[in-house]
């Protein structure tokens, strides 16, 4: 790296970029999207070349971990050319990890190619192992296709971590089934506390809120939980289950206990950079990107944005004060 790394005003180095490459998805998970979504016009989206240029500039400024997300990243047309192109940064050693979060529906098609691009680990979102419940929560998804995709990923040598949104009254009864299934298949498992998005309706939303501290307490009725010191710079905490040896994570996206170690920023598919998951402030990087082929102005815009990264989240889930705004920016930044 020839330039000074990105350091925010609170002395945190920015080493993790999460990039949404599309707002589109082949599922319509009830807690995430409305059934009849209006997607962005194509001209608004960054092209794959523009995404490449933006990511490459972040990498030149010290980003070492790139997570590709969406929408569903694997439904973006031509997405493998983007992964292929990003793999040059793994080969040069500038990038330590190239990874993605996916719903798994396209993995049978792409797992081998992803592995060939240097992807080693992926996150697959899966909230239930029940066919009917899967169809209900994703509206458009088929469980069999996702399980087959996970199989394909394993065959290709990818390590699969399962992300499950904790939904009271929906997958509460599957806590132990999901955990045992992951243990048997050697998948790490992370539970995500549900955030106020999607179109569940207010009553159902509150009904479905299952605090992870309650989930964790229930898990502890069957397993011995050992806290792990593992830190990723994000809002996840991990335990090991002594009986199975598996790692289980808890992501409470809206708690702000871990902001002091935050190393990440998020880029939307339209080039908006969000410096904090819990705050609305963002910087438009598409304008400087399109204004000139010269990267100097772009890097200056990135640095100016990072200089505005706030110290931490400032909202309270229980009051749901920012529901409307959250819906907009979260669904474009990959959850």
One-character DSSP codes across 17-65 = EEEE--S--S---TTT--SSPPPPPGGGSPPHHHHHHHHHHHHHTT--E
Candidate ranges 2-10, 83-91, 96-104, 219-227; the one touching ligand SAM (CB under 6 A): 96-104
Rule CB under 6 A: say whether 171 interacts with ligand SAM. no
Rule CB under 6 A: say whether 63 interacts with ligand SAM. no
Closest among 49, 98, 50, 104 to 74, alpha carbons compared: 104
Rule CB under 6 A: say whether 335 interacts with ligand SAM. yes
Q: At closest approach, how far in Å is the CB of 84 from ligand SAM?
A: 20
Q: At closest approach, how far in Å is the CB of 251 from ligand SAM?
A: 8
* Neighbour count for residue 14 (Cβ, 10 Å): 24
Rule CB under 6 A: say whether 149 interacts with ligand SAM. no
Among 197, 236, 269, 306, binds ligand SAM (CB under 6 A): 197
Bridge partners of 68? 19, 100
Q: List, in sequence order, the alpha helices (H) in the chain.
A: 48-60, 79-92, 107-116, 131-138, 143-155, 175-185, 202-208, 212-219, 286-291, 295-306, 323-333
Is the backbone of residue 118 left (phi > 0), alpha (psi -120 to 50) or beta?
A: left
Q: At closest approach, how far in Å is the CB of 166 from ligand SAM?
A: 9
Rule CB under 6 A: say whether 167 interacts with ligand SAM. no
Among 15, 125, 179, 279, binds ligand SAM (CB under 6 A): 125
Rule CB under 6 A: say whether 25 interacts with ligand SAM. yes
Rule CB under 6 A: say whether 195 interacts with ligand SAM. yes
* Neighbour count for residue 195 (Cβ, 10 Å): 23
Long-range contacts of the stretch 250-253 (C-beta < 8 A, 24+): 250/190, 250/191, 250/193, 250/212, 250/215, 250/216, 251/163, 251/190, 251/191, 251/192, 251/193, 251/212, 252/193, 252/212, 253/192, 253/193, 253/195, 253/277, 253/278
Instruction: Give yes or no for a contact between 265 and 255, defined as CB atoms under 8 angstroms apart.
Output: no
Rule CB under 6 A: say whether 190 interacts with ligand SAM. no
**HSE-CB of 236 using CA atoms within 13 angstroms:** 19
Rule CB under 6 A: say whether 103 interacts with ligand SAM. yes
Rule CB under 6 A: say whether 198 interacts with ligand SAM. yes
Assign 3-state DSSP to the chain and report helix, strand, coil percentages, each to 5: 40, 20, 45
Q: Which is nearer to ligand SAM, 31 or 110 (CB)?
A: 31
Rule CB under 6 A: say whether 241 interacts with ligand SAM. no
Among 56, 102, 128, 171, binds ligand SAM (CB under 6 A): 102
Burial of 34 (0-12, 13-18, 19+ CB in 10 A): middle
Q: At closest approach, how far in Å is the CB of 247 from ligand SAM?
A: 17
Q: At closest approach, how far in Å is the CB of 222 from ligand SAM?
A: 24
Among 12, 24, 30, 31, binds ligand SAM (CB under 6 A): 31
* Residue span 270-309 as binding mask against ligand SAM, x where in contact by CB under 6 A, dash where not: ----------------------------------------
Q: Which is nearer to ligand SAM, 118 or 198 (CB)?
A: 198
Rule CB under 6 A: say whether 99 interacts with ligand SAM. no
Rule CB under 6 A: say whether 55 interacts with ligand SAM. no
How many residues sit close enough to ligand SAM to count as binding (CB under 6 A)?
19
Q: Which is nearer to ligand SAM, 149 or 271 (CB)?
A: 149
Please give the residue ranges that form the binding site for ligand SAM (CB under 6 A). Answer: 25, 31-32, 69-70, 72, 101-103, 125, 163, 165, 192, 194-195, 197-198, 334-335
């Amino acid at each position: 790296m020839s330039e000074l790394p990105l350091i925010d005003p609170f002395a945190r180095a920015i080493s993790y970029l999460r990039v949404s490459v599309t707002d589109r998805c082949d599922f319509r998970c009830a807690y995430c999207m409305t059934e009849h979504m209006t997607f962005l016009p194509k001209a608004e989206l960054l092209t794959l070349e523009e995404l490449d240029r933006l990511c490459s500039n972040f990498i030149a400024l010290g980003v070492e971990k790139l997570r590709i997300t969406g929408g569903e990243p694997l439904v973006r047309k031509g997405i493998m050319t983007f992964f292929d192109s990003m793999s040059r940064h793994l080969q040069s050693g500038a990038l330590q990890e190239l990874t993605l979060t996916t719903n798994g529906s396209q993995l049978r098609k792409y797992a081998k190619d992803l592995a060939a691009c240097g992807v080693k680990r992926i996150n697959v979102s899966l909230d239930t192992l029940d066919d009917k419940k899967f169809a209900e929560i994703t509206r458009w998804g088929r469980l069999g296709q996702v399980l087959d995709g996970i199989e394909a990923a394993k065959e290709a040598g990818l390590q699969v971590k399962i992300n499950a949104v904790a939904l009271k009254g929906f997958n509460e009864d599957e806590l132990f089934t999901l955990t045992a299934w992951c243990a048997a298949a050697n998948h790490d498992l992370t539970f995500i506390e549900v955030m106020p998005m999607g179109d569940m309706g207010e009553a159902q939303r509150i009904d479905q809120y299952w605090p992870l501290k309650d989930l964790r307490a229930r898990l502890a009725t069957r397993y011995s939980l050992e806290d792990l010191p593992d830190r990723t710079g994000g809002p996840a905490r991990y335990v090991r289950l002594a009986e199975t040896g598996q790692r289980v994570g808890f992501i409470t996206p809206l708690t702000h206990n871990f902001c002091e170690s935050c190393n990440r920023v998020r880029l939307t598919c339209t080039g908006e950079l969000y410096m904090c998951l819990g705050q609305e402030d963002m910087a438009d990087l598409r304008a400087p990107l399109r204004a000139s082929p010269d990267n100097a102005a772009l890097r200056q815009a990135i640095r100016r944005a990072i200089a505005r990264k706030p110290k931490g989240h400032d909202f309270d889930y229980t009051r749901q004060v920012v529901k409307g705004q959250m819906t907009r920016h979260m669904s474009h930044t990959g959850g």
